[in-house]
Amino acid sequence: MAARTGGRFDLGRAATADAAAAVLPVRHVAGVRTIDYAPARLNPQPSRSYYFWMMAPAIVVLAAISLYPFFWLVWMSLHNVEVGAGPDTFVGFANFERLFTRDRKFWNGWSLLLQYSAMCLSLQIVLGVLLAVILNGSRYEKILVTVILMPMMMAPVIAGLVWYYLYNSTFGWYHWLLQSAGILGETSIVGSTSTAMLGLVIVDVWQWTPLITLITLAGMKRVPRDQLEANMVDGAGELRNFFAIVLPNLYPFLLIAILLRFMDNFRFIDVALTLTGGGPADATNILPVYLFDVSFQYFKLGRGAAIALTLLLVTILLGMLLVRLFEGPQSRRADMGSEG
């Protein structure tokens, strides 16, 4: 090994100095041949610019397709932009004012979106967790889980079309089923204001309950076994074990599932557009559907932008919550690994 003296390699004793001398400046200090010790050049730690260039392409593309549209959106929300209605005029916050004070459909859209999400999520959580508890550790777990997750692979718009067919009041099998069971009359489930929302919820539950099951199953595999067993020794039966140990360990997972599904309800309106298009009589006109209509049916782009910004704002707030949770279950597990 090279003997290091005062930040220099002493070449007189350095065994590896020849290699170093090839790249490093050689000097003579007090008659001893030395080289300057340059850690930055010997150390293989790459410089930051290298990483910067690796990051740059993705960041540039992302900025172009997200930041730029965002500022455009802000600009539009402050203007009266309407396709085929003359030049855009600056209107200040008029678009927002109209939304918050006069637009009943806007508030109705939010309220319906919340109702819709609440119904979907409560059903999905109950069914999904129940399914996960039953399937967990079962002999057929693998094959059954594979089967139940099939609906998730289907394009939402196709799912919408299939269910449109199933709900049809003259030839739909599910309509026949519901009618025969005495639940429905002649009108299709999506044809009546009182049941249309339920019709959408059923499709969402059908398609996305498996996600809750998958998340719950992943969570259940992480429930520390020795806690379960300690609780059993302490005197708990299976049911108490579930509520005292399993469920608290599942909360963070369920919270993530809820947030993800909630945000997807902002994103995906394919089913609603296909099945009801917001009707009948606005009974399923959830906010994103309303936004779609304002922008692409009435072409009131300025108002649309204002609605879009409110949606974005809520998404970002939820996203912050979610990101905080991301650091949750996985890393918390790591902490607990040592103490069980």
Partner 1 sequence: MASVRIANVWKYYGKTVAVKDLNIDCPDGQFLSVLGPSGCGKSSTLRMLAGLEHISAGDIYFGERRVNDLPPKARDIAMVFENYALYPHKTVFENIANPLRLRGTDGATIERKVRAAAKMLEIEHLLDRKPVELSGGQKQRTAIGRAIVREPQLFLFDEPIAHLDAKLRAHMRGELKLMQRRLGTTMIYVTHDQLEAMSMADRIAVMHEGVLQQFGTPQEIYNQPVNEWVAGFVGEPPMNFLDVEVVDEDGRLCLVHPGFRVAVTAAQQALLRQRLSGREARMGIRPDEVRIATATFPGALEARVRVSEPLGGDMLVDAELAGSRLLVKTRPDFTGGMGAPCWVAFDVERWHLFEKPSGVAYF
Partner 2 sequence: MASRDVVAYRSPLTTALHVAAGLFVAVYLAWTILPIFIMFVSSFKDLLEAFKLPAVGDWGGVLVFFDFTPTAKHYFNLFGQLNFATYFRNSLAAALGSAVVSVVLGSMCAYALSRIDFRGKKDLFFWIISTRMAPVVAVMVPLYAIFRNLELVGTLPGLILAYTTFNLPFAIWILKGFFDNVPYAIEEAQMCDGATRLQAFRSILPLVAPGIGAFLVLCVLFAWNDFLFASIIGSGGAKTLPVATRELVQPQNIQWGSIMAAGVVTTLPMMLLGLLIRRYLVTGLTMGAVRE
Q: Which of residues 178-237 bind partner 2 (CB under 8 A)?
A: 179-180, 206, 210-211, 214-215, 217-219, 221, 225, 228-229, 232
323 interface partner picked from partner 2, partner 1, none, CB below 5 to 8 A per type: partner 2
72 interface partner picked from partner 2, partner 1, none, CB below 5 to 8 A per type: partner 2
Q: Closer to partner 1 by CB, 186 or 229: give it.
A: 229
92 interface partner picked from partner 1, partner 2, none, CB below 5 to 8 A per type: none
What's the CA gap between 319 and 263, in Å, rounded? 8
Asked whether 105 and 186 are in contact (CB, 8 A), the reply is no
Site for partner 2 in 280-339 (CB under 8 A): 288, 291-292, 295-296, 301, 304-305, 307-309, 311-312, 315-316, 318-320, 322-323, 325-326, 328-330
Q: Closer to partner 2 by CB, 9 or 266: give it.
A: 266
Residue 300 CB: number of other CB atoms within 10 A? 19
**Least distance (Å) between residue 286 CB and partner 1:** 36
Q: Closer to partner 2 by CB, 34 or 76: give it.
A: 76
Long-range contacts, 222-225 (Cβ 8 Å, 24+): 222/249, 222/329, 222/333, 223/249, 223/250, 224/249, 224/336, 224/340
Site for partner 2 in 247-266 (CB under 8 A): 253, 256-257, 260, 263, 266
The burial class, CB within 10 Å (0-12 / 13-18 / 19+), for 178 is middle
Closest CA relative to residue 219, chosen from 329, 332, 335: 329
Under the binding rule (CB under 8 A), the answer on residue 150 touching partner 2 is: yes
Q: Closer to partner 1 by CB, 236 or 260: give it.
A: 236
Q: Closer to partner 2 by CB, 15 or 65: give it.
A: 65
Residues that bind partner 1 (CB under 8 A): 224, 226-227, 229-237, 240, 244-245, 248, 335-336, 339-340
What's the CA gap between 26 and 16, in Å, rounded? 14
107 interface partner picked from partner 1, partner 2, none, CB below 5 to 8 A per type: none
125 interface partner picked from partner 2, partner 1, none, CB below 5 to 8 A per type: none
What's the gap between Cα 163 and its chain centre?
A: 25
Task: Give the count of alpha carbons within 13 A of 182, CB side only.
Answer: 0
Contacts of 18 (CB under 8 A, 6+ apart): none
Tokens of 288: 């994103």
Q: What is the CA radius of gyration of the chain?
A: 31
99 interface partner picked from partner 2, partner 1, none, CB below 5 to 8 A per type: none
**Least distance (Å) between residue 31 CB and partner 2:** 33
51 interface partner picked from partner 1, partner 2, none, CB below 5 to 8 A per type: partner 2
Q: Closer to partner 1 by CB, 226 or 327: give it.
A: 226
Integer angstrom CA distances of residue 211 from 66, 118, 243, 254, 300: 28, 16, 22, 11, 36
Asked whether 129 and 212 are in contact (CB, 8 A), the reply is yes
Under the binding rule (CB under 8 A), the answer on residue 46 touching partner 2 is: yes
